[in-house]
Each structure stands twice: as C-alpha cells, then as structure tokens.
C-alpha cells in the first residue's frame, strides 16, 4: 500500500492534472473521443457493475457517468479506494473493468488479470486505454516523457523488483501494454485461456503530443491543432501501427 508521503504526492498530482485538464481544450477533446470508444466497448449495464480502476483525476465521470470510480489512493471524487490486484467482491459479480493509463503502472499485470478472471461475469469485459510504443511515439515517450520505456520487459513477470522497487503508484513502464498485446499476445492467451482478446486498436497520432498533455499547454494554436486532429481521424487504421500513441484493447471473459 502507498505510504503517507506517496499518498500526498499522488493527491497533489491528481490536483495538477485536474488544473491542466480545465485549461487544455485539446486534451479534453482527445479524452472525450477515447472515453467514447471505451463506453461503446462496454457490455450492457445489466451484466453487472462497471468499475474503473485507477481513476486518478476522475475524468471518466464526464463521459461515462455510471462508472464506479476507484483508485489505490482515494480522492473526494472517487467512490472508494481499491487496488487492481485485490478488487474484492464475490466471484463472477462484475460486468466490466476499465483501466485508463493504469496497466503500465501495475507491478504485476498477471495478478490483475488473475483477479479479473475471478470477479468478471461471463461476457464481462476489460477495456484498457494505454500508451502505444510505435516508431513515431517511441522517441517521444522515451526522451520527452517522465515515465520509462523498456521494450525488453516480460509483461507477465512481477515488476516489483529493480526499476519498480519501493513501488510508488506512479512508477511505470510505458512499454508493457505494447509488448503484452504485441509480441506477448500468444503468451497472454496461454496464461489466461478464459480471457478472449476482442480487439486491439491503435489510435492517436501527433495530435496527442501536440496537445501538450498534462505537463504543458497545447503546442499548436487551437485552430491548427483541430485541423491536425481532423486529418488524423481520416487516416486509415493501419497507419497508426507506425504513428500511433494510444492502444485501446477490449478483452472478454468467456
């Protein structure tokens, strides 16, 4: 569990991200698009509760109001405090788990997927939106982002040693989702035969870093940024294997 110091640091980061969100319309446009895709991928509400793990600043509330927001460090806008590898509740009791920029922060993705298999109902889903390491995004994530990128990782191994020792909630390896659902996909399918990968979409070109993210304002004037964004939305999906910054993965419990 996070220490008191880590909790304070995490809550302060949530606060900064909420301030950046309020001041950055380009970022809000992108998140509206991504959460729209997440919402469309969710199973019917009748299947069971829909829980977002690692809700952080709580942006999901604006787009999917019925999501239960949780985090390992609870803020006032969260419904409860919850860890991705100890979700709790009865077996087969949950309809959907949403993780937005969370998987690559987990010290043991395997423990999360084991827990997801336990708590999800048949036809329940996991929907993940994560960094994509593509030829274009690699140098941006590697050299211009504070979180590390290690493509040599075994994504199903416990990452709690070495780089992620004394784990802080924001420790990470941005490469984990790309490796897990790329060259590691066969290993994932062997490890979790009751989890079926429904889709893996690669999204978001240069409009994402040009938005400035949460660390700075938009890098382009608003009109030019929206032109770039509209152009990207017309590009054929295969091109995002080369230029994409985001990975949207939908997994269903069989």
3-state secondary structure of 83: strand
56's tokens: 């952080």
231's tokens: 């152009």
164 pLDDT higher than 80: no
Distances (CA, A) of 244 to 4, 132, 181: 37, 6, 15
For residue 145, the enclosing domain spans: 4-253
CB–CB of 203/247 below 8 Å?
yes
For residue 167, the model assigns a pLDDT of 61
Mean pLDDT, to the nearest integer, of 38-56? 97
More confident residue, 58 or 145: 58
The total number of structural domains that make up the chain: 1
> In CATH, what number is assigned to the domain containing residue 50?
3.40.50.150
165 pLDDT higher than 90: no
Mean pLDDT, to the nearest integer, of 141-159? 90
Task: Determine phi and psi for 113, rounding to 5 degrees.
Answer: -65, -35
Where in the chain does DSSP place strands (E)? 50-53, 68-71, 80-81, 94-100, 120-131, 195-203, 246-253
Q: How many CA atoms lie within 13 A of 111 on its CB side?
A: 14
12 pLDDT higher than 50: yes
- The residue among 92, 35, 33 whose CA lies nearest residue 58 is 35
- pLDDT tens figures, 68-87: 999 999 999 999 999 999 99
Task: Determine phi and psi for 129, rounding to 5 degrees.
Answer: -120, 115
The pTM assigned to this predicted structure is 0.93
Band the pLDDT of 160: cuts 50, 70, 90: low
Report d(CA 203, CA 250) in Å as an integer: 14
Report d(CA 172, CA 195) in Å as an integer: 24
163 pLDDT higher than 80: no
């Amino acid at each position: 569990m996070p220490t008191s110091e880590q909790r304070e640091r995490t809550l302060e980061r949530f606060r900064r991200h909420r301030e950046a969100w309020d001041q950055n319309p380009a970022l809000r446009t992108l998140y509206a698009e991504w959460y729209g895709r997440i919402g469309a991928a969710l199973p019917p509400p009748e299947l069971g509760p829909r829980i977002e793990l690692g809700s952080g600043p709580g942006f999901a509330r604006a787009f999917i109001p019925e999501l239960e927001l949780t985090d390992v460090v609870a803020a006032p806008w969260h419904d409860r405090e919850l860890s991705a590898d100890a979700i709790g509740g009865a077996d087969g009791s949950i309809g959907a788990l949403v993780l937005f920029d969370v998987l690559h922060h987990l010290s043991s993705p395997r423990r999360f997927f084991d827990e997801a298999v336990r708590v999800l109902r048949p036809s329940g889903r996991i929907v993940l939106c994560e960094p994509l390491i593509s030829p274009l995004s690699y140098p941006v994530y590697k050299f211009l982002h504070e979180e590390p990128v290690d493509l040599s990782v075994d994504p199903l191994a416990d990452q709690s040693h070495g780089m992620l020792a004394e784990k802080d909630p924001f420790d990470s390896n941005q490469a984990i989702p790309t490796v897990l659902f790329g060259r590691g996909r066969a290993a994932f399918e062997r490890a979790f035969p009751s989890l079926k990968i429904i889709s893996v979409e690669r999204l978001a070109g240069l409009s994402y870093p040009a938005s400035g993210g949460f660390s700075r304002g938009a890098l382009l004037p608003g009109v030019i940024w929206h032109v770039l964004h509209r152009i990207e939305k017309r590009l054929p999906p295969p091109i995002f294997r080369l230029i994409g910054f985001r990975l949207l993965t939908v997994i269903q419990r069989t």
